[in-house]
Chain A
Amino acid sequence: MFKSLMYKEWLKIKWIVVGLALINVLVILNIYLDLSNTFKELAANSVVGQFQAYEIVFYYDIKNIILVTGLLLGVFQFFPEISQSRLKLTFHLPVKENKLMLQMTSVGVFILLLIFIIDAFLLSIVCIKLLPKEFFDSMLMTTLPWYVGSIVTYCWVIIIFVEPNWTKRIISIFLALGIISLFYAGSGFSAYSNSIFYFILLAVFCSAIIFLSAYNFKRGIC
């Protein structure tokens, strides 16, 4: 049954997944080309020195793309479910509703993780090829909150879409904006390296709220 549900989700989101993965790759390619050009025009040592001195995050462009990736995946996966209350069809399948929500969310999170692994892999190649090793180490710790933030964004899109009550929906939007901004507020290398554990805890907490929205959807508007 999970295989069949995965099939349904894949049919729904395959083009947006391909599109998002492509955009992520293109942005990283652009970062690589920019950096290569800078190194051609200026002395590599001087550039690296400035990067270190001012903590310049040369892959900063990927930050917003990572955020948008989670946001759009959530929208494209769950808007069709909410449109015309199609989620009722899904919840009528002979599987417990919470299990269905968990499985649908798992599909999205799995796809996001795949895209982020590709991102991290390509960024690592850029770092290893052009910069000293410490940049590679800090890159992973700098981008990790962004990736976690994207998954949190994805979860909040689901929470907001599935929630049937408009008041709670609007409260959720403001709550989501506050929480998501935490993941993207830091600047500089490894800005959140000491708090990444708490970010992951926050992500787990946010993902649990999905089940509350699903419960509210099932209970209906009274």
Chain B
Amino acid sequence: MGNVVEIKDLTHYYGKKLVYENLSFNIKEGSIFGLLGKNGTGKTTTINILNGFLRPKSGKCLMFGEDSYNLSPATKARVGFLIEGHIQYSNMNIIQIEKFYSAFYPKWKKEPYYELMSKLAVTQDQKLSKMSCGQRSQVALGLILAQDPDLLILDDYSMGLDAGYRRLFIDYLTEYAKAEKKTIFITSHIIQDLENFLDDCVILDYKSVLMTMPIKEFMSTFKQFKFETSVKDLKLEKDDVVKSYEIIKNKAVIFTFEQQPNVASYLNSKGIDFNDLHQVPMSLEDAFIGITGKY
């Protein structure tokens, strides 16, 4: 399988403020790729660059082999784009907006759109501006599914959605997109929803990339260890072993890619007295916080 998206050495600044430098990753055809990071780490910037709405300072960004800044209409037709906040033409109702978009896309399938609309308690002449955030999100998703794109780019699909709508969103993505081997590029600030959904991910930090790897590999190699220590005012530093840590009184937590014996050796080498060193299972959200830190 080829790459649908290729990003190589992408660097971007807003004025003199560095967003990130040398961001590189590929999105394989048929995979579900998550771009994760805290607010302000450059997720939407990356999506804007990918959709040709921002020219990066340097680096290469290809979508279906084309420079993302100069996408041909044929390539744009292959990409479904959900703007952060589920933005759509709010002056239209669900019939009008479907009629409008259908003229632009040769593979348009209105069935999934109307199936999704039938689940919403909205009238046919109700404008999008009069709908709740959750209802608007379903309209936006329905339109993308009807477009039947090869690549879905979903910028913070979970923004403003309650648990029910978030679940509905992921269920429909799974039903229509994952089942049909569509490629999905997704960002979200609610990590827990993506745990069983993603194949690969990039985790961004401020000005840098923390990691790029398949989600299964990340979850199996990234670990959380807890221990107690008698050392007062224990101080640790981030290094090759300790990716992140937290110390509350005499209890410490270390996040690392190392195995337990290596962690024990590391603590010994630092002269840190410890006991009850044990691994604690993590969810994706725990691992995300572990690698990015709480602050």
Contact = CB atoms under 8 A, between A and B. Distances in A.
Contact of A80 (B12, B53, B83, B91): B91
A96 B53 CA distance: 13
A219 B69 CA distance: 8
A11 B48 contact: no
How would you classify the secondary structure of chain A's contact residues: helix, strand, loop or mixed? helix
B92 A1 contact: no
A220 B53 contact: yes
B266 interface: no
B250 interface: no
Interface string B62-103: 000000000001101101010101011111100010011011
Q: How large is the interface on A (under 10, 10 to 19, 20 to 34, 35 or more residues)?
A: 20 to 34
A94 B76 contact: yes
Nearest to B97: A8
Given A1-B103, A92-B51, A218-B52, A86 B89 contact: yes
A12 B57 contact: no
Contacts of A1: 103-104
B109 interface: no
Interface residues of B, number: 32
B14 interface: yes
Contacts of B53: 88, 91, 218, 220
Contacts of B100: 4, 7-8
B39 to A, nearest CB: 18
A92 B143 CA distance: 13
A62 to B, nearest CB: 30
26 contacts: A1-B103, A4-B100, A4-B103, A4-B104, A7-B99, A7-B100, A12-B91, A80-B90, A80-B91, A84-B83, A84-B85, A84-B87, A86-B87, A86-B89, A88-B51, A89-B81, A89-B83, A89-B89, A91-B53, A92-B79, A93-B104, A94-B77, A94-B104, A94-B105, A95-B73, A218-B53
Interface of B: 12-15, 48, 51-55, 57, 73-74, 76-77, 79, 81, 83, 85, 87-92, 96, 99-100, 102-105
Interface of A: 1, 3-4, 7-8, 11-12, 80, 84-86, 88-89, 91-96, 218-222
